[in-house]
Amino acid sequence: GAVVSQHPSWVICKSGTSVKIECRSLDFQATTMFWYRQFPKQSLMLMATSNEGSKATYEQGVEKDKFLINHASLTLSTLTVTSAHPEDSSFYICSAEGGSGGAGETQYFGPGTRLLVL
């Protein structure tokens, strides 16, 4: 149980285009999803917290107009990188948790999406 999928797993795009990444919880309802970014040989950096039916909460330094997050259902959240540039190339990982988000919740991670902007 507790499987999270992401699509696509790989994307290469030209500079200036927008890219949408989907994150789905396959066998549970995720009240909260998280979006992380990981640069090579670095740790995961939280970008935003997404609660179903409400606006995402972005971390300091993350541009909400550039990284659009939509969490329209309990099993799907999307991250759209708008007008992508080479510096946006990274490994984007989502995670999902169910329940009330209390101290005992485990986050289940998707397999990640590698974005390369040329």
Partner 1 sequence: GQQVMQIPQYQHVQEGEDFTTYCNSSTTLSNIQWYKQRPGGHPVFLIQLVKSGEVKKQKRLTFQFGEAKKNSSLHITATQTTDVGTYFCAGRNTGFQKLVFGTGTRLLVSP
Q: How far is the CB of 83 from partner 1 (least distance, A)?
A: 26
| Residue 105 C-beta: closest distance to partner 1, Å | 8
Q: Tell me if the bond preceding 40 is cis, omega within 30° of 0.
A: no
Instruction: Give the span between the Cα atoms of 45 and 82, in whole angstroms.
Output: 19
Residue 32 binds partner 1, judged by CB under 8 A: yes
Binding residue for partner 1 (CB under 8 A) from 58, 110, 115, 117?
A: 110
Compute the distance between CA of residue 52 and CA of residue 71 in angstroms, rounded to an integer: 5
- Per CB under 8 A, 105 contacts partner 1: yes
Rank residues 82 and 98 by Cβ distance to partner 1 and give the closer one: 98
What is the spatial distance between Cα 42 and Cα 100, in angstroms, rounded to a whole number? 30
Q: How far is residue 110's CA from residue 58's CA, in Å, rounded to a whole number?
A: 19
Q: Choose the stretch contacting partner 1; rule: CB under 8 A; options: 17-25, 32-40, 70-78, 82-90.
A: 32-40
* C-alpha dihedral sign at 101, 107, 108, 109: positive
Footprint of partner 1 on this chain (CB under 8 A)?
32, 34, 36, 41-46, 49, 60, 93, 97, 101, 103-112
